[in-house]
Protein backbone atom coordinates (compact mmCIF):
# COMPACT_ATOMS: atom_id res chain seq x y z
CA UNK A 1 0.00 0.00 0.00
CA UNK A 2 1.41 3.39 -0.99
CA UNK A 3 2.05 6.03 1.69
CA UNK A 4 -0.64 8.28 0.19
CA UNK A 5 -3.19 5.46 0.36
CA UNK A 6 -2.34 4.79 4.02
CA UNK A 7 -2.73 8.47 4.83
CA UNK A 8 -6.20 8.59 3.26
CA UNK A 9 -7.57 5.60 5.18
CA UNK A 10 -8.51 5.20 8.84
CA UNK A 11 -5.55 5.19 11.26
CA UNK A 12 -5.63 2.35 13.79
CA UNK A 13 -3.80 4.41 16.43
CA UNK A 14 -6.17 7.40 16.24
CA UNK A 15 -8.55 8.09 19.10
CA UNK A 16 -10.51 10.49 16.88
CA UNK A 17 -10.47 10.79 13.08
CA UNK A 18 -12.52 12.89 10.70
CA UNK A 19 -13.07 13.37 6.97
CA UNK A 20 -14.99 16.37 5.65
CA UNK A 21 -16.08 17.83 2.30
CA UNK A 22 -17.52 21.29 1.60
CA UNK A 23 -18.73 22.71 -1.71
CA UNK A 24 -20.26 25.90 -3.10
CA UNK A 25 -21.15 27.29 -6.51
CA UNK A 26 -19.68 30.47 -7.98
CA UNK A 27 -22.73 32.61 -7.19
CA UNK A 28 -23.05 31.16 -3.65
CA UNK A 29 -26.65 30.27 -4.49
CA UNK A 30 -26.13 26.72 -3.22
CA UNK A 31 -23.57 24.73 -1.30
CA UNK A 32 -23.14 21.90 1.12
CA UNK A 33 -21.02 20.22 3.75
CA UNK A 34 -20.56 16.73 5.14
CA UNK A 35 -18.29 15.22 7.76
CA UNK A 36 -17.76 11.80 9.28
CA UNK A 37 -15.97 11.38 12.60
CA UNK A 38 -14.72 8.05 13.97
CA UNK A 39 -14.25 7.78 17.74
CA UNK A 40 -12.39 4.81 19.19
CA UNK A 41 -14.55 2.86 21.63
CA UNK A 42 -17.58 5.05 20.94
CA UNK A 43 -20.20 5.68 18.28
CA UNK A 44 -19.30 7.65 15.16
CA UNK A 45 -20.74 11.05 14.17
CA UNK A 46 -22.06 11.97 10.73
CA UNK A 47 -23.50 15.21 9.41
CA UNK A 48 -24.63 16.44 5.99
CA UNK A 49 -26.16 19.73 4.96
CA UNK A 50 -27.27 21.37 1.72
CA UNK A 51 -28.24 25.01 1.39
CA UNK A 52 -30.05 26.42 -1.66
CA UNK A 53 -31.27 29.98 -2.12
CA UNK A 54 -35.02 30.19 -1.61
CA UNK A 55 -35.31 26.62 -0.29
CA UNK A 56 -35.22 25.14 3.22
CA UNK A 57 -31.86 23.97 4.53
CA UNK A 58 -31.58 20.18 4.25
CA UNK A 59 -30.00 18.98 7.47
CA UNK A 60 -28.82 15.49 8.51
CA UNK A 61 -27.11 14.50 11.77
CA UNK A 62 -26.56 11.03 13.21
CA UNK A 63 -24.48 10.53 16.36
CA UNK A 64 -25.19 6.88 17.16
CA UNK A 65 -23.35 5.00 14.40
CA UNK A 66 -21.67 1.72 15.43
CA UNK A 67 -18.21 1.17 13.98
CA UNK A 68 -18.08 -1.47 11.26
CA UNK A 69 -15.31 -3.73 9.94
CA UNK A 70 -15.09 -1.24 7.06
CA UNK A 71 -15.02 2.03 9.02
CA UNK A 72 -15.75 4.13 5.93
CA UNK A 73 -19.32 2.79 5.78
CA UNK A 74 -21.73 4.44 8.21
CA UNK A 75 -24.98 2.62 8.98
CA UNK A 76 -27.61 3.49 11.56
CA UNK A 77 -31.39 3.18 11.74
CA UNK A 78 -32.84 4.35 8.39
CA UNK A 79 -29.47 5.81 7.42
CA UNK A 80 -26.55 4.79 5.19
CA UNK A 81 -23.51 6.81 4.14
CA UNK A 82 -20.18 5.95 2.59
CA UNK A 83 -16.93 7.80 1.88
CA UNK A 84 -14.85 6.00 -0.76
CA UNK A 85 -11.31 6.92 -1.76
CA UNK A 86 -11.20 6.09 -5.47
CA UNK A 87 -7.65 7.37 -5.98
CA UNK A 88 -5.47 8.64 -3.11
CA UNK A 89 -5.13 12.43 -3.01
CA UNK A 90 -7.07 12.63 -6.31
CA UNK A 91 -10.66 11.34 -6.18
CA UNK A 92 -13.37 10.51 -3.64
CA UNK A 93 -16.98 9.37 -3.90
CA UNK A 94 -19.36 10.39 -1.11
CA UNK A 95 -22.91 9.13 -0.94
CA UNK A 96 -25.82 8.68 1.43
CA UNK A 97 -29.42 7.52 1.68
CA UNK A 98 -31.44 8.70 4.65
CA UNK A 99 -33.97 11.28 5.81
CA UNK A 100 -33.16 14.97 6.12
CA UNK A 101 -34.94 17.63 8.13
CA UNK A 102 -35.92 20.66 6.04
CA UNK A 103 -35.36 23.79 8.13
CA UNK A 104 -36.86 27.12 7.09
CA UNK A 105 -34.72 28.81 9.76
CA UNK A 106 -31.13 27.49 9.98
CA UNK A 107 -31.05 28.57 13.64
CA UNK A 108 -33.27 25.54 14.35
CA UNK A 109 -30.25 23.33 13.65
CA UNK A 110 -28.74 24.56 16.93
CA UNK A 111 -31.88 23.89 18.92
CA UNK A 112 -34.56 21.22 18.65
CA UNK A 113 -34.13 20.77 14.88
CA UNK A 114 -37.86 21.14 14.21
CA UNK A 115 -38.76 20.90 10.54
CA UNK A 116 -40.16 18.65 7.85
CA UNK A 117 -38.68 15.14 7.60
CA UNK A 118 -38.05 14.16 3.97
CA UNK A 119 -36.33 11.20 2.26
CA UNK A 120 -33.17 12.00 0.32
CA UNK A 121 -30.10 10.43 -1.24
CA UNK A 122 -26.92 11.83 -2.73
CA UNK A 123 -24.17 10.58 -5.02
CA UNK A 124 -21.28 13.05 -5.23
CA UNK A 125 -17.80 12.94 -6.77
CA UNK A 126 -14.85 15.01 -5.56
CA UNK A 127 -11.71 15.59 -7.68
CA UNK A 128 -8.49 17.29 -6.60
CA UNK A 129 -7.30 20.46 -8.32
CA UNK A 130 -4.47 21.32 -5.91
CA UNK A 131 -1.98 19.33 -3.85
CA UNK A 132 -2.69 18.72 -0.17
CA UNK A 133 -1.43 21.22 2.37
CA UNK A 134 -0.80 20.49 6.03
CA UNK A 135 -3.12 21.74 8.76
CA UNK A 136 -3.21 20.90 12.47
CA UNK A 137 -3.66 17.12 12.87
CA UNK A 138 -3.91 16.42 9.14
CA UNK A 139 -4.28 18.03 5.75
CA UNK A 140 -6.60 20.09 3.55
CA UNK A 141 -7.04 19.92 -0.23
CA UNK A 142 -8.93 22.02 -2.76
CA UNK A 143 -10.85 20.46 -5.62
CA UNK A 144 -14.18 20.36 -7.41
CA UNK A 145 -17.38 18.45 -6.69
CA UNK A 146 -20.31 17.35 -8.83
CA UNK A 147 -23.17 14.88 -8.63
CA UNK A 148 -26.86 14.47 -7.89
CA UNK A 149 -29.18 14.74 -4.91
CA UNK A 150 -32.48 12.86 -4.91
CA UNK A 151 -35.19 14.94 -3.23
CA UNK A 152 -38.96 14.61 -2.78
CA UNK A 153 -39.27 16.91 -5.81
CA UNK A 154 -37.04 14.70 -7.96
CA UNK A 155 -33.31 14.61 -8.73
CA UNK A 156 -31.29 17.82 -8.54
CA UNK A 157 -27.96 18.05 -10.34
CA UNK A 158 -25.01 19.67 -8.65
CA UNK A 159 -22.92 21.01 -11.51
CA UNK A 160 -19.15 21.06 -11.08
CA UNK A 161 -18.32 23.59 -8.39
CA UNK A 162 -15.53 24.60 -6.03
CA UNK A 163 -14.88 22.29 -3.09
CA UNK A 164 -12.44 21.59 -0.30
CA UNK A 165 -11.85 18.57 1.89
CA UNK A 166 -10.00 17.84 5.11
CA UNK A 167 -8.71 14.70 6.77
CA UNK A 168 -7.59 14.92 10.40
CA UNK A 169 -6.74 12.39 13.10
CA UNK A 170 -5.38 12.50 16.63
CA UNK A 171 -4.53 10.33 19.62
CA UNK A 172 -6.59 12.89 21.56
CA UNK A 173 -9.69 14.86 20.64
CA UNK A 174 -10.26 17.02 17.56
CA UNK A 175 -11.72 20.50 17.31
CA UNK A 176 -14.55 21.27 14.89
CA UNK A 177 -13.54 21.56 11.24
CA UNK A 178 -10.93 24.37 11.02
CA UNK A 179 -12.61 26.85 8.67
CA UNK A 180 -11.57 30.50 8.81
CA UNK A 181 -13.66 32.59 11.23
CA UNK A 182 -15.43 35.65 9.78
CA UNK A 183 -17.58 38.53 11.04
CA UNK A 184 -19.18 39.56 7.73
CA UNK A 185 -20.86 36.96 5.54
CA UNK A 186 -23.55 36.34 2.94
CA UNK A 187 -27.06 34.91 3.39
CA UNK A 188 -26.25 31.20 3.32
CA UNK A 189 -25.90 29.52 6.71
CA UNK A 190 -25.50 25.86 7.69
CA UNK A 191 -25.02 25.12 11.42
CA UNK A 192 -24.36 21.83 13.22
CA UNK A 193 -24.32 21.10 16.96
CA UNK A 194 -22.46 18.03 18.23
CA UNK A 195 -23.05 15.92 21.37
CA UNK A 196 -19.93 17.27 23.10
CA UNK A 197 -21.39 20.79 22.93
CA UNK A 198 -19.19 21.98 20.07
CA UNK A 199 -20.79 23.93 17.22
CA UNK A 200 -19.82 24.29 13.58
CA UNK A 201 -21.78 27.30 12.30
CA UNK A 202 -20.95 27.64 8.61
CA UNK A 203 -21.73 30.81 6.66
CA UNK A 204 -21.03 31.74 3.05
CA UNK A 205 -18.43 34.27 1.90
CA UNK A 206 -17.33 35.15 -1.65
CA UNK A 207 -14.51 32.63 -1.15
CA UNK A 208 -16.72 29.79 0.08
CA UNK A 209 -17.73 28.55 3.52
CA UNK A 210 -16.32 29.99 6.74
CA UNK A 211 -17.15 29.76 10.44
CA UNK A 212 -19.46 32.35 11.95
CA UNK A 213 -17.79 34.19 14.82
Residue 120 has pLDDT above 90, yes or no: yes
Confidence at residue 184, expressed as pLDDT on a 0 to 100 scale: 86
pLDDT in tens, 140-184: 999 999 999 999 999 999 999 999 999 999 999 999 999 999 998
Share of the chain above pLDDT 90, in %: 92
Does some domain include residue 20?
yes
As a whole number of angstroms, the distance between CA 189 and CA 211 comes to 10
- The CATH number that applies at residue 149 is 2.40.370
Instruction: From 173, 147, 171, 175, select the one nearest 161 (Cα to Cα).
Output: 147
Residue 71 has pLDDT above 70, yes or no: yes
- Residue 1: pLDDT band (50, 70, 90) is very low
Greater model confidence, 186 or 57? 57
DSSP 139: E
Residue 41 CB-half CA count within 13 A: 6
Provide mean pLDDT across the span 119-140.
98
Provide mean pLDDT across the span 116-144.
98
Does some domain include residue 210?
no
Does some domain include residue 129?
yes
Does some domain include residue 195?
no
pTM comes to 0.96
Provide mean pLDDT across the span 179-193.
94
Output the DSSP codes for 20-81. Answer: EEEEE-TTSSEEEEEEEEEETTS-EEEEEEEEETTSPEEEEEEEEE---SSTTEEEETTEEE
Confidence at residue 163, expressed as pLDDT on a 0 to 100 scale: 98
Does some domain include residue 32?
yes
* CA angle in degrees (0–180, nearest 5) for 35-147-175: 10
Does some domain include residue 159?
yes
Number of domains the chain contains: 1
Does some domain include residue 48?
yes
- Residue 16: pLDDT band (50, 70, 90) is very high
Residue 28 has pLDDT above 80, yes or no: yes
Does some domain include residue 187?
no
Confidence at residue 146, expressed as pLDDT on a 0 to 100 scale: 99
Contacts of 28 (CB under 8 A, 6+ apart): 186, 188, 204, 205, 206
Domain that holds residue 168: 15-179
What's the sign of the alpha-carbon dihedral 75, 71, 208, 199? Answer: positive
Instruction: From 102, 104, 98, 105, select the one nearest 117 (Cα to Cα).
Output: 102
Give φ, ψ of 186 to 5 degrees: -90, -170
- Residue 129: pLDDT band (50, 70, 90) is very high
Residue 2 has pLDDT above 70, yes or no: no
Amino acid sequence: MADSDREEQAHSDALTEEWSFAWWDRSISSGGYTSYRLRRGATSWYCWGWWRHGRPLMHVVEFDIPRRADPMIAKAEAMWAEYTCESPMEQWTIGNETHAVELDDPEEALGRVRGTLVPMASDLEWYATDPVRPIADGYRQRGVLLGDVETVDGPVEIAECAAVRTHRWSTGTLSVDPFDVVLAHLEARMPFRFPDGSVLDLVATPDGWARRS
